[in-house]
Amino acid sequence: MLLALDVGNTNIVVGVFENEALRASWRLSTDRRRTADELAVFLKHFFSATGFVFSDVDRVIISSVVPPLSTALKEMSERYFSVKPLIVGPGVKTGLNLKLDAPREVGADRIVNAVAALRLYGPPLIVIDFGTATTFCQVDEAGDYRGGVIAPGVAISMEALYQNAAKLPKVEIAPPPSVVGRNTVEAMQSGLFYGYIGLIEGMIERMKRLYKKPPKVVATGGLGRLFAEATPLIDVYEPDLTLYGLNWIAQLNA
């Protein structure tokens, strides 16, 4: 089986694949200080809850935007799984053509998402990942990756309000009863939720002008479902998009 690990700034997403089938997936919070041994303890707990054992795994693939954890996960893979992991980066086959000024600067997660969306839905595409940052990626009619947009994630926006405005509280990121709030919490929720809907829809509309035919808009990420259900401009939400991309890249490099 394949162990797939996607390391973001907020969460580590873990998946176990048997050929094309995603057998199980889990999330744990990203902590740059975690050691290889600590990460193995978390995985052992996840595995035991679903009836897997470490010896079931014969391949490991890692996508990471957090270098300290890349090192720890590599060490964990070699020590506990006796497997040298495939780490997504320069030199790894992805099947994706990057038509960019600086291809090496593109985050591994964005590449993996584009690979998965292409495999699942075909071009052209707009791929949106609602993570610590919200990213929009353009895949053209030929299936080439043309670039993208990086915006602050909605959770970062909420934290910025809380940290920099003395009287504003932390609030749940959720739609309030009305677009016009009747108290501070509702007013903040409206600004965060509906303001972010405005950002999403505005960016999609602007990006669509770059295509000769309408692209499919695919969303993923922790808060993706919330916003996908709130706007008709997102065609599909796939929570495990990155894991599927990792599985296909692993197969391509087998």
Which residues are tagged catalytic?
Answer: 109
33 φψ region: left (φ > 0), alpha (ψ -120 to 50), beta (else): alpha
Task: Check residue 174 and report its DSSP letter.
Answer: S
State how far the alpha carbon of 234 is from the alpha carbons of 60, 205, 240, in Å: 32, 11, 16
Sequential DSSP letters for 83-103: -PPEE-STT---S--B-SS-G
Cβ 83 vs Cβ 58: under 8 Å: yes
Cβ 65 vs Cβ 108: under 8 Å: yes
| Closest alpha carbon to 139 in 115, 163, 159 | 115
Q: At what angle do helices 184-208 and 154-164 cross, to 10 degrees?
A: 140
Cβ 1 vs Cβ 51: under 8 Å: no
